[in-house]
Chain A
């Protein structure tokens, strides 16, 4: 061991070595205490008979301080928006305001039971009503449901609305057209709604090829699922012609609203021919991404689709109070129990209130300004496969670095060393070696400058010292994990290590699965 490693060891905090909970567990430790029972005790064996559970296997036994330290240490191994720029394209990793978290935890909202009587739920219902109204104004649509739990769930809801509408016209049709630049959720959604998927090629500007669209839309096509701006960050300039081509042949336009952060306050999808769309409250409306959810995917639509919206919908009753309406015979039914991810509705409304019309417009302008600034700063160092004007995100490629054996995934790993979360790697699929960068409005000029500087430095390293990039990241706790091995022989849960002829390492010997 050389002296440098000794320095490293001395500066490495214990948090670098947090084990699994199960490895911290030992019998008799606990982190809970229940109050004394105020009713007579029961014997579970008498009440449950042979369904009584004997033991809980290897569930952990740890104290409260160990729990706090365990999860606090784990948290320090994450990169987050709170640390710095998180330019994951298509994910809109913007600032998550603390006041949103605060209000969502107010007792009357956090503890409201979904089946409590409507007359003591008026506050929660008003939040949903206001959010609906404001999202409709923002999208320029006519009707909306807040029920879907995430973007992909919203897509499914939207396509089911289209299907139900077309069925009511006599023919549900067979196909959904999806551009080759689309998110994977789009084709997966179409399949779940019972449609086959037909690919639509993009033109050289990265946009929908109108001639190809004209050729492909026929009586079998139910809808086009279009992300706008698309995944290249390009606004579909001929959006209204696209809508016209579809409408002329009885098909509808579904807009994937994943990239709505480029449009809010500047243009409304309802005004340019969209029939139905979803919003990602966890992207555009700042509800936190939470390490992978919860999201929320409201679906807004035009009048013609309104009768088919999921039940229930919030209505104002004759006495002026708010309530749920269930009697909607044309509805596609429910897509989720209760009323959606209400906690996210609270946060999204708080976000809109904090911004107002001026703030929302400025937010969109700053998001687009930031993406263009990055584009300008990185041009020359990286290949820009589509030169079409950029909205809120920009897609470069690794074409200039690839000859040195350096791929987009390697550059991403090196970016970690520079203190940034990587961009989205290898997406969209129409760009080989894609680097999809979405800074959002939450970055200052100084942080954008640092990011651009880092990307330029990496481009230089690719020329001069490619091995630095190929072995990155250098300063993380773990580096280049073996994903192939993980998939070949999956280890998806912890198990006690049992030496031959011995009991389990922990004191608990009985495996409930045996």
Chain B
């Protein structure tokens, strides 16, 4: 086997050294009746060339080279080449959690830089080293709010990504954390009146998303005022991280839960992505996940270490803030490199291009005769279109032109009928927008 660095004679010498007659001696503690006495029923070993050919075929069966209008929590942005060339260094991708800081400063410093940039972008004081993704991060943020407030109820806006809400429901069920849902109004934003009614003295955290699932920006200041008046914490989820280049960070939030996939992470059929939680300094000790801090070594040199680990499972066990251990290290590094490539000016320019493309598309769709919902409310790069024709039929026609149309909303929002959610990024061309506009007119 080509990954194994031993010859048969190496093995024999080693067995002799150990004092074993055969390799089976080393497995003698496994009761004989459970030992597998046959080959595993899996295909024979493939040559590397065969493996490549097999996956090339699978790739060819998976929408290679289509233009797409899909967003809905996973965004198609251009990935600068340096991202993959840097994360492909074995020193990064074949290392593990930086438990030994002397030989992990590369990982530690880059996480520290990641934390810093997430703070700059979100306006928060402190960010962790990553969570699995935006959905689990949102659930953990609600649990964090419960620990911080000593209250047990949660409120989640229905304009939060429906799959985030499903994950929250799973996590909350056994936390003794009832989750109330509040709807949206005709402007595509949280129903503030309903929010005011549903929060009570037992509400720990209120979760909204902005830009929300429909692409519209929530009125975070107004939501924050209501939430804080009742002594609850406001959690803002950001699923489209590029929006932070041109949209004000959620200053009223107590906790920000982000999905950073847009920062250079491939769509990859849904993962791996990169969640991250950011918050105020005063809340850091209830934060889940790993944190890197700056310190000095014994010679006075600056260096970085994992810190505040008394929050974590390996120290606190059942009293830990979360069971999270392995997070999304290498994906956070991708995000870190992407944020560096675009930087202070580039992220703004990039976000503005997204804004322009979505604005052009919604205008063309409207001109073609479709109804754009929630008009008048500021939005980033996604918008909801109501068509006369079932969106699945429109999408079938677009597929013939190698264009993947918007995301039909009926599955999650039956009240929206034949509406669908369209996303434009800097990679969306005018030509494909014009082609799509012709079909939505039907």
The answer to whether B34 touches A184 (Cβ under 8 A) is: no
Other-chain contact of A123, B58, B82, B314 (Cβ < 8 Å): B58
B240 to chain A, nearest CB (A): 14
Report B26-58 residues with CB < 8 Å from chain A CB. Answer: 26-31, 34-36, 39-46, 48, 50-52, 54-58
**A25, A111, A289, A335: which contacts B267 (Cβ < 8 A)?**
A111
Closest 8 CB pairs of A and B: A338-B270, A290-B330, A108-B59, A356-B45, A292-B329, A194-B174, A82-B90, A123-B61
Contact B116 A494 (CB under 8 A): yes
A473 touches B98 (CB 8 A): no
Q: A104-B268, A294-B132, A478-B101 are in contact. List 13 more A-B contacts (CB 8 A).
A: A21-B113, A80-B91, A111-B63, A123-B60, A291-B98, A293-B326, A294-B329, A343-B271, A344-B271, A369-B14, A482-B296, A487-B293, A512-B123
Contact indicator per residue, chain B 326-349, by CB within 8 Å of chain A (1) or not (0): 111111010001011111111111
How many whole Å from A398's CB to the nearest CB in chain B? 16
- State whether A59 touches B96 (Cβ < 8 A): no
Chain B residues near A99: list those with CB within 8 A: 48, 51-52
Contact A58-B46, Cβ < 8 Å, known A30-B343, A78-B95, A160-B170: no
Is A336 positioned at the interface, with any CB of B under 8 Å from its CB?
A: yes
A357 to B307, Cβ gap below 8 A? no
Q: A71-B110, A149-B133, A354-B2 are in contact. Are A292 and B97 (CB under 8 A)?
A: yes
How distant is A299 from chain B, measured CB to nearest CB, in Å?
Answer: 13
Contacting residues, chain B, for A64 (C-beta < 8 A): 82, 341
Interface pick from A5-13, A208-216, A232-240: A232-240
Contacts of B233 in A (CB 8 A): none
Give complex CA distance A18, B433 in Å: 45
Whether A192 pairs with B175 at a CB distance below 8 angstroms is yes
Within 8 A of A (CB), among B125-172: 125-127, 129-130, 132-136, 161, 163-164, 166-167, 169-171
Whole-angstrom CA separation of A62 from B309 in the bound complex? 33
- Interface residues in A250-306 (C-beta closer than 8 Å to B): 264-268, 271-272, 280, 282, 286, 288-296
Would B45 and A112 count as touching, CB distance under 8 A? no
Residues of A43-63 whose CB lies within 8 A of B: 44, 47-53, 55-62
**Contact assessment for A343 and B4 in the assembled complex, using a CB-CB cutoff below 8 Å:** no
A188 CA to B318 CA, complexed, in Å: 4
Asked whether any CB of chain B lies closer than 8 Å to the CB of A315, the reply is no
Nearest-neighbour CB distance to chain A for B293, whole angstroms, equals 4
Selected contact of B31 from candidates A240, A333, A337, A360, CB within 8 Å: A240
- A382 beta carbon closer than 8 Å to chain B: no
Q: Is the CB of B103 within 8 A of A421?
A: yes
Instruction: List residues of chain B with CB within 8 A of the CB of A196.
Output: 318
Known contacts A91-B96, A343-B271, A481-B303; A60/B343 CB under 8 A: yes
Q: Kindly report which residue of chain A lies nearest to residue B93, judged by CB atoms.
A: A288
- Nearest B residue to A264 via CB reads B40
Residues of B within 8 A of A369 (CB): 11, 14-15, 18, 23, 26
List chain B residues, Cβ under 8 A from A246: none
Q: Which of B30, B271, B333 contacts A291 (CB 8 A)?
A: B333
11 pairs of residues in contact across A and B, judged by CB atoms under 8 Å: A48-B355, A109-B269, A112-B268, A188-B318, A239-B34, A272-B34, A292-B329, A336-B167, A338-B270, A477-B102, A481-B101
**Residue B230 at the A interface, CB < 8 A?**
no
Q: CB of A402 within 8 A of chain B?
A: no
What is the CB-to-nearest-CB distance from A305 to chain B, in angstroms, rounded to a whole number? 15
Binary B-proximity of A392-422 (CB < 8 A = 1, otherwise 0): 0000000000000000000011001000011
Q: A150-B325, A366-B6 are in contact. Are A343 and B92 (CB under 8 A)?
A: no
Q: A75 to B26, Cβ gap below 8 A?
A: no
Whether the Cβ atoms of A356 and B74 lie closer than 8 Å is no
Q: Are A74 and B329 in contact (CB under 8 A)?
A: no
- Tell me, yes or no, whether A165 is within 8 Å of chain B by CB: no
A126 to B73, CA, bound (A): 23
> Does A389 count as interface, using CB distance less than 8 angstroms?
yes
Per the bound structure, the CA–CA distance linking A443 and B301 in Å amounts to 34
The listed residue (B39, B59, B89, B246) touching A44 by CB distance below 8 A is B246
Q: Which of A74, A88, A416 has the largest number of chain B CB atoms within 10 A? A: A74
Please determine whether B318 and A334 come into contact, CB atoms closer than 8 angstroms. no
Q: Is B178 among interface residues, defined by CB-CB distance under 8 A?
A: no
- With a cutoff of 8 Å between Cβ atoms, the chain A residues found around residue B164 in the complex are 337
Task: Tell me which of B23, B85, B245 has the highest count of chain A C-beta atoms within 10 A of its own C-beta.
Answer: B23
Asked if residues A513 and B307 are in contact (CB atoms below 8 Å), the reply is no
A30 contact from B136, B314, B331, B346, Cβ within 8 A = B346
A52 to B292, CA, bound (A): 31
B355 contacts across to A, CB distance below 8 A: 42, 44, 47-48
Find out whether the CB atom of B136 lies under 8 angstroms from the CB atom of A336.
Answer: yes
Rounded to whole angstroms, the CA-CA distance of A188 and B317 in the bound complex is: 5
- In the complex, what distance in Å separates the CA atom of A31 from the CA atom of B30? 57
B294 at the interface (CB under 8 A from A): yes
Q: Could you tell me if B42 and A343 are in contact, using CB atoms closer than 8 angstroms?
A: no
Nearest residue, chain B, Cβ from A376: B18
Query: Is there an interface contact between A422 and B317, defined as CB atoms closer than 8 Å?
Result: no
- Residue pair B313, A290 in contact (C-beta under 8 Å): no
Of B59, B74, B91, which contacts A106 at CB under 8 A? B59
Measured between C-beta atoms, what is the minimum distance from B64 to chain A in Å? 4
Residues of A within 8 A of B56 (CB): 103, 106
A289 → B minimal CB distance (Å): 4
A193 to B153, CA, bound (A): 17
Q: Does A41 contact B (CB under 8 A)?
A: yes
Which residues of A lie under 8 Å from residue B62 when comparing CB positions?
108-109, 112, 120-124
Considering the chains assembled together, what is the distance between the CA atoms of A353 and B329 in angstroms? 26
**A445–B274 Cα gap in the complex (Å)?**
39
Contact B96 A71 (CB under 8 A): no
Select one of B31, B64, B96 contacting A108, CB under 8 A. B64
Question: Which of A163, A295, A442 has its CB near the most chain B CB atoms (within 10 A)?
Answer: A295
Q: CA A64 – CA B4 in complex, angstroms?
A: 38
Please provide the chain B residues from 105 to 125 with a CB less than 8 Å away from any CB of chain A in the complex.
105-107, 109-110, 112-113, 115-117, 119-121, 123-125
Contact of A343 with B292 in the complex, beta carbons under 8 Å: no
Taking A120-B62, A491-B294 as contacts, is the C-beta distance between A358 and B356 under 8 angstroms? no
B333 nearest in chain A by CB position: A291
> Which chain B residues lie closer than 8 Å to A479 at the CB level?
102, 297-299
**C-beta contact mask, A415-432 vs B, less than 8 Å → 1, else 0?**
010000110110100000
B393 close to A (CB within 8 Å): no
Contact call B103/A78, Cβ cutoff below 8 A: yes
Q: A267 is contacted by which of B30, B51, B101, B174 (Cβ under 8 Å)?
A: B30
> Does residue B202 face the partner (Cβ distance < 8 Å to A)?
no
**B29 CB, min distance to chain A CBs, angstroms:** 4
A340 pairs with B270, CB closer than 8 A: yes
Chain A 96-120 interface residues, beta-carbon cutoff 8 Å to B: 96-97, 99, 101-117, 120
Q: Of A32-40, A459-467, A497-505, which binds chain B?
A: A32-40
Within the complex, which residue of B127, B130, B340, B356 is in contact with A41, where a contact is CB–CB below 8 Å? Answer: B356
Bound-complex Cα distance A290 to B245 (A): 27
Instruction: With a 10 A CB-CB cut-off, give which of A64, A120, A151, A416 has the most chain B CB atoms.
Output: A120
Shortest beta-carbon distance, B242 to chain A, in Å? 12
Asked whether A234 lies within 8 Å of B29 as measured between CB atoms, the reply is yes
List chain B residues, Cβ under 8 A from A134: 42
With an 8 A cutoff between CB atoms, is B66 at the interface?
A: yes
Q: 1/0 contact trace for A462-486 toward B, CB 8 Å?
A: 0000000000010011111111011
Does A57 lie within 8 Å of B353, measured CB to CB? no
CA distance A265 to B40 in the complex (A): 6
Q: Is the CB of A372 within 8 A of B20?
A: yes
Asked if A190 is at the interface of the complex by the 8 Å CB criterion, the answer is yes
Contact A67 B82 (CB under 8 A): yes
Residue numbers in A under 8 Å from B120 (CB-CB):
56-59, 512
Our pick among B15, B268, B270, B329 for the contact of A290 (Cβ within 8 Å) is B329
B429 within 8 A of A: yes
Determine if B295 and A294 form an interchain contact, defined as CB atoms under 8 angstroms apart: no
Do the beta carbons of B284 and A108 come within 8 Å of each other? no
Asked if A127 lies at the interface with its beta carbon under 8 angstroms from chain B, I say yes
Q: Known A60-B343, A490-B307; judge A482-B295 contact (CB<8 A).
A: yes
